[in-house]
Amino acid sequence: MNRILPQIDFGLKHLLERRSDAPPPNTGSSGVRKASWKKDTRSRVVAQARYDHLTRGRRAQLCVDDVSVSFDGFRALDELTLILDQGELRCIIGPNGAGKTTLMDVITGKTRPDSGSVFLVGDTTDLTHLSEHEIARRGICRKFQRPSVFQSHSVLENLELALPVGRGVFQSLFARLSSEQRSAIEQILEIIGLKEEREKRAGLLSHGQKQWLEIGMLLAQKPRVLLVDEPVAGMTHHEAERTAEILVGLAGTHTVVVVEHDMEFVRSIAQTVTVLHEGRVLVEGPMHAVQNDPRVIEVYLGVD
């Protein structure tokens, strides 16, 4: 604890400087809300200090710290701590029920944990206190298995609609975009390999192409962290290979988390792999080390 005390001071100063952290008005004479504000602020300061401590010396982007989630007394996540570095492609694997989906739900604000914190680098806000919408606005984007593209609009229009500005303006033409926006879209079309299909209606794309388009739509929002849930489910072998190329291509410039059951796919993209088991990190490291780890073999026995 002594080692993190200087960070607590730093965190306290930082937090008290922020107007949103000022005590709420009308605390009145009851002092109850005042006390709860104090407690809340103290726990946030401690959480921030831990974040500083955990991420020191790393190029961290996201820190999940000591998160627990229970469902009817069953611990789906059990004091889970996970740090993602900027620009890394992290695969999260683990047998069914390991807590992978619950972890994604906590990071995106769909599930509020019983305890623990989530921080983005450079932001003192504990994301577990925010709504899903507020978290998305801070740049954490999640791609679900089922693609949700606008079927009756072209590939280009879909990407255009995904841009942070101009969203919802169906009439806007590509020509009306700024040159910066146009080149961002061109770049995305290149990344997702849909240059030739730019005028095609999204509804006419193959399953794989729709998935890539949706990845493109998330990229258009310039995410700080991109969470991708089982990207190759339902894909052909060729489509899965192409998806691997796209995700590997994003690493370096994007922080990407892939949750996937398909071990062959994980092997084809994996840099650092985190294996979850019973709501905890069982093993973390490079794929070759992880797949030969006896603990991993044991929990995966019969699965792969």
Please report, as ranges, the residues that interact with ligand ADP according to CB under 6 A. 71, 76, 94, 96-102
Provide CB contacts within 8 A for 10, sequence distance 6+: 49, 52
86 touches Mg ion (CB under 5 A): no
261 touches Mg ion (CB under 5 A): no
Q: Is 75 or 129 the residue whose CB approaches Mg ion more closely? A: 75
Residue 84 CA, distance from chain mean position: 9
- Segment contacting Mg ion (CB under 5 A): 97-105, 160-168, 235-243, 282-290? 97-105
Residue 98 touches which of Mg ion, ligand ADP, none (Cβ within 5-8 Å per kind) = ligand ADP
- Minimum distance of ligand ADP from residue 92's CB (angstroms): 9
- Minimum distance of Mg ion from residue 98's CB (angstroms): 8
- Minimum distance of ligand ADP from residue 291's CB (angstroms): 18
Sign of CA dihedral 172, 176, 179, 180: negative
Residue 30 touches which of ligand ADP, Mg ion, none (Cβ within 5-8 Å per kind) = none
Distance CA 177, CA 199 (A): 16
Q: Is 71 or 170 the residue whose CB approaches ligand ADP more closely? A: 71
- Minimum distance of Mg ion from residue 280's CB (angstroms): 16
Residue burial 97-117, b: 16+ Cβ < 10 Å; e: rest? ebbbbbbbbbbbbebebeebb
Distance CA 282, CA 277 (A): 6
Among 27, 101, 154, 172, binds Mg ion (CB under 5 A): 101
Q: Cβ-count burial of 153 within 10 angstroms (0-12 exposed, 13-18 middle, 19+ buried)? A: middle
- Minimum distance of Mg ion from residue 99's CB (angstroms): 8
Phi and psi at residue 259, to the nearest 5°: -105, 125
Interface with Mg ion by CB under 5 A: which residues? Answer: 100-101
